[in-house]
Amino acid sequence: MPTSDSAVLINGHTQLVGLFGWPVEHSISPPMHNAAFRALGLPWCYLPFAVRPDAIATALAGARALGLRGLNATVPHKQALLSLVDELTPAARAIRAVNTILFESGRTLGDNTDAQGFVRALHDEGMDPRGAHALVLGAGGAARAVCYALAESGASIAVLNRTPERARSLVAELALQVRASRLSAGPLDAAAVSAGPSPDLVVNATNVGMWPQVNASPWPDDAPFPPHALAYDLIYNPCETRLMATARAAGARAANGLRMLVHQGAASFALWTGIEPPIEIMLGACEHALRGDEHATLHDRG
């Protein structure tokens, strides 16, 4: 099968998919998906579309009319699409965001693949979240997806946020939508991260530490990092965050969020095509794109 890095050939047989966002110029979704299409010899092409917030409904109707097979969505459209699609998957409904759309049989399905991508990324790190105790730092959209994934996997979760009310609200809402799981909320401070059982997993679902604020960390400076935990930072630019460095210095394992983002993209790919994509080729395309653009993003996590 072809694996060339040459441009995708576009003709009357090409099946189009793409990304709705505002902005989209630094997204690395196009090289990621187009590399997988080339590797599999599929006559598909993934394009970025800059869609103004006030034009999302028109753009969605236009994509359907033009025969696109599917879309990804990033900021600021994930929540707006909840009310514009014909059907929502349980994940999209629970996470309250749509990041993947499938056009099929005249209907529009809204899905969210972030939770699936997160669990697959944990498996890549040799971690099964079943029965694990997790600390999730942050209470925004990314944290909601992570908590949904962990709760569905049977983990116990403590959501910690600098504004504790947001953490409590997230826990209360998720408790109504996910399978039985131990959910708690609290402030993001030294006392809270040190309370209770030692965590198996610490997830940074905030933007703290993202480029260009590379010296920032959500982990309290006066709290020791648990040495037996996996630190999973959803940030992937920089590839080694301060949180990850803190974890490694304590003897813990650490990983950034690039594989999660690749896996959530792969889940979208499989939904559209019915084919499991080549993960390592997608990952390599992302790494190559990141080396060329320090501002690059894949999909918004929040």
Q: Are residues 44 and 165 in the same domain?
A: no
pLDDT higher than threshold 80 for residue 302: no
- On whether both 170 and 245 belong to a single domain, the answer is yes
pLDDT of 300 reads 52
Choosing from 33, 38, 77, 78, the catalytic residue is 78
Q: Mean of the pLDDT values across residues 133-154?
A: 96
In a domain, 75, yes or no: yes
- Shared domain check, 251 and 120: yes
Given a cut of 60, is residue 290 above it in pLDDT?
yes
Write down the residue that tokens 């014909």 correspond to. Answer: 86
Q: Could you tell me where the beta strands, DSSP code E, fall in the chain? A: 15-21, 44-50, 70-73, 87-88, 100-104, 107-111, 133-137, 156-161, 183-187, 201-204, 230-233, 253-256
218 and 148 in a common domain: yes
Is residue 8 a part of any domain in this protein?
no
- Residue 274 within a domain: yes
The answer to the question of residue 10 being in a domain is no
Residue 302 lies in a domain: no
Please give the Cα distance from 203 to 185 (Å, whole number): 14
Q: The whole model's pTM is what?
A: 0.93
Domain count for the chain: 2
Alpha-carbon Rg for the chain in angstroms: 19
Q: Both 286 and 166 in a single domain?
A: no
- Percentage of the chain lying above the pLDDT 70 cut: 93
Tell whether 169 and 53 lie within a shared domain: no
The tokens for 158 are 């403590």
Q: What is the 3-state secondary structure (H, E, C) of 107-121?
A: EEEEECCHHHHHHHH
120 with 233, same domain? yes
Q: Is residue 7 part of a domain?
A: no
Note whether 170 and 92 are same-domain residues: no
Residues of the chain above pLDDT 90, percent: 87
We report the CATH number of the domain holding residue 101 as 3.40.50.10860
* CB 155, CB 133: distance < 8 Å: yes
Mean per-residue pLDDT, 147-156? 95
**pLDDT higher than threshold 80 for residue 41:** yes
Residue 220 has pLDDT above 80, yes or no: yes
- Do 130 and 90 sit in the same domain of this protein? no
- Same domain for 124 and 239, yes or no, is yes
Q: Is 78 a catalytic residue?
A: yes
Residue 67, domain extent:
15-112+265-292
Residues 126 and 205 occupy one common structural domain: yes
Residues 85, 154: one domain? Answer: no
With 0-12 / 13-18 / 19 or more C-beta atoms within 10 angstroms meaning exposed / middle / buried, residue 267 is buried
pLDDT digits (tens, 9 = 90+) for 47-97: 999 999 999 999 999 999 999 999 999 999 999 999 999 999 999 999 999
pLDDT given at position 107 = 96
Is residue 6, in this structure, part of any structural domain at all? no
Residue 3: predicted pLDDT: 41
pLDDT at position 6 over 60: no
